[in-house]
Amino acid sequence: MILLFFGPPGAGKGTQAKIVSDKFNIKHLSTGDILREKLVDKSELSNKLINIIDNGQLVSDSIINDLVSERINKEDCKNGFVLDGYPRTMEQGIFLENYFKKNSLKLDYIIDFTIDNKSIVKRIKARSLIERRKDDNESVIETRIKKYEEETKPLSAYYMKNYKKKYYNINANQEIEKINEELIKKLENY
Ligand code: AMP
Q: pLDDT tens digit string along 48-69?
A: 999 999 999 999 999 999 999 9
Residue nearest to atom 6 of ligand 1 (CA): 32
pLDDT at 189: 80
pLDDT of residue 132: 87
**For ligand 1, is residue 147 a contact (CB within 6 Å)?**
no
The one-letter code for the residue type at 190 is Y
Q: Decide whether any atom of ligand 1 lies within 6 Å of the 95 Cβ.
A: no
**The pTM is what?**
0.96
Distance in Å, CA 160 to ligand 1 centroid: 22
Q: What is the DSSP letter of 12?
A: S
Report the alpha-carbon distance of residue 35 to residue 67 in Å, rounded.
9
Residues β-bridged to residue 170:
113
Contact 35, 117 (CB under 8 A): no
- Give the CA-trace dihedral at 105, 61, 9, 49, to 10 degrees: 130
Residue 34 is which amino acid?
A: I
Strands 81-84 and 2-6: parallel
Q: How far is residue 157 from each of residues 83, 168, 183, 186, measured CA to CA in Å?
A: 18, 12, 20, 21
* Backbone φ and ψ of 28, nearest 5°: -90, 115
Please answer whether residues 1 and 80 qualify as being in contact, where contact means their C-beta atoms are separated by less than 8 angstroms.
Answer: yes
Cα-to-centroid distance, 63 and ligand 1 (Å)? 11
Q: 75-95: per-residue pLDDT in tens?
A: 999 999 999 999 999 999 999
> Which residue CA neighbors atom 1 of ligand 1 most closely?
32
Centre a 10 Å sphere on the Cβ of residue 62 and count the other Cβ atoms it contains.
Answer: 11
Provide the pairing of β-strand 109-114 with 81-84.
unpaired
Please identify every stretch of the chain with a pLDDT value under 70, giving residue numbers as ranges. none
pLDDT confidence of residue 37: 92
